[in-house]
Structure 1
């Protein structure tokens, strides 16, 4: 039996809506980790970058610093309450906010230099579709960063669960998923202090 995509969206929105008000207070020390992950993208001054699943916009200041005042920073999230918190925190001065599903972005083809995605991949009900959509809006050779402030094992311990063998973010599975979605993985890091995967958007004959 197929699942209505709207049901998937609703479950994600409900999960984050109930946590939006105190989200930043729960993770007050993540700023330096976000800044270091953004630096790994090596964004060009004046570049265009999307924070996919931006939540309360914690990455937006670092992304703005990376591309400078001449660049374009967009944060997209499915949960209005998270975007409201981003606004309340004053993060709209660093980038524009967009209420959108990352699987169906209202952005033009090959319009971005890079995508930053913190904590996104494990909340996607259809990760392959979302990664293909991100590939659509990124130019050939553009970069993707999949980030979390702690590694898989540390996160599993925090959540009181065992790390599953078929975890979506395990290197073999994620590598295959990225390869099938228009990306080439270039680095994989999974340690207690952070999870960070970098990928490059494959060249397509349709790119100009």
Structure 2
């Protein structure tokens, strides 16, 4: 894992930056700014950005990278000249914005995770929930604030810890943000398979159904059909760009879209009668934590349907590898995983054209 540090080509990376990142187990990927330097245009496996300087007026690649990071909610810390770059990037949003548009900079608060109760510097600001800037106070301001350097060093350590804790989500968001606009068209042919799978849930009208890891919300129309006009459908995804694409394809006509972590759902206990999840569970770093959380929000009569429009053997062959006996979705692994987290496996199908597992809460 690495955090990109952007600064003038002639400058050395401050020891405080390298030390904070190293303490959190993060590497440093230095991107020089200045004449002849070109910033990367893709985030790749970046876990965060630290902006120490502003680029020249002809450097459009750096601003594009920052806007892409904001869209994907990659953690960003911008100091001094870098703070001006961050604020300027917000003023020029791209097509891949968050669901509610590109957020405006707001003053940093003691409730921000980077300050954890400490009073932030008066020049500190926040952009959305993943980017922070501290504008330069100038030499006179630094002389007046004798603890300024120590505060910045503490800020760097907190940012490094935050970037490391969010690394898994950051990787997911950067991957899917780049693909969100084309996702629906690319997989439109799978819509009938999704609809057929949803009908297997056999939900009653008036109930609540969730599509976890909903992407562009392909299951939401079928879920709405099941629960009827008086039921409730919620599509949940951790990538705002996918939810924005879902809204663009009219999924808000079928239900609500919610940006959330599927292992920490902002949903009351026992309030959901149907949980649909396609191609998500076996890609999570801790699937048992997710299943336990899903059991928490499930009503006593809840149905959990795990689905994929391809069978396990078909997917393995497509990637040129044999079936993995350790695969979570293999029945001999999935059944005990469900049982250990409060579920009972009722139906299991690993066919050539689809994978489907239907479960209910254990008695």
TM-score tier after normalising by the smaller chain length? over 0.9
How far apart, in 2, do the equivalents of 1:182 and 1:62 lie?
27
Equivalent in the alignment of 2:355: 195
- Give yes or no for contact 1:52–1:102 (8 Å, CA) kept in 2: yes
- After TM superposition, the structure 1 = structure 2 runs for residues 45-194 of structure 1, keeping only pairs within 5 Å, are 45-194=205-354
CA-atom RMSD in angstroms: 1.6
State the TM-score, normalized to the length of structure 1.
0.93
How far apart, in 1, do the equivalents of 2:188 and 2:320 lie?
21
SS for the counterpart of 1:42 is coil
How far apart, in 2, do the equivalents of 1:158 and 1:18 lie?
23
How far apart, in 1, do the equivalents of 2:242 and 2:283 lie?
15
Deviations 1:40-76 (A, max 9, x none): 1001001101101100000000000010000000000
How far apart, in 1, do the equivalents of 2:286 and 2:168 lie?
9
Return the offset for 1:17: 1.6
Deviations 1:71-108 (A, max 9, x none): 00000000011101100101110010000000000000
Higher relative contact order (CA 8 A, sep 6+): 1
How far apart, in 1, do the equivalents of 2:183 and 2:194 lie?
15
Equivalent in the alignment of 1:37: 197
- Higher Cα Rg, which structure: 2
How far apart, in 1, do the equivalents of 2:273 and 2:347 lie?
18
- Give yes or no for contact 1:141–1:202 (8 Å, CA) kept in 2: no
- Give yes or no for contact 1:12–1:123 (8 Å, CA) kept in 2: no
Equivalent in the alignment of 2:74: none
Return the offset for 1:9: 1.2
State the TM-score, normalized to the length of structure 2.
0.54
SS for the counterpart of 2:166 is helix
Task: Establish whether residue 6 from structure 1 lines up as the match of residue 166 from structure 2.
Answer: yes
How far apart, in 2, do the equivalents of 1:9 and 1:159 lie?
24
How far apart, in 1, do the equivalents of 2:179 and 2:326 lie?
27
Task: Tell which deviates more after alignment, 108-117 or 194-203.
Answer: 194-203
What stretches of structure 1 of length at least 5 have no aligned partner? 204-208
| Residue-pair matches, total | 203
Task: Tell which deviates more after alignment, 161-170 or 56-65.
Answer: 161-170
Deviations 1:168-192 (A, max 9, x none): 1111101111111110000110011
How far apart, in 1, do the equivalents of 2:181 and 2:352 lie?
26
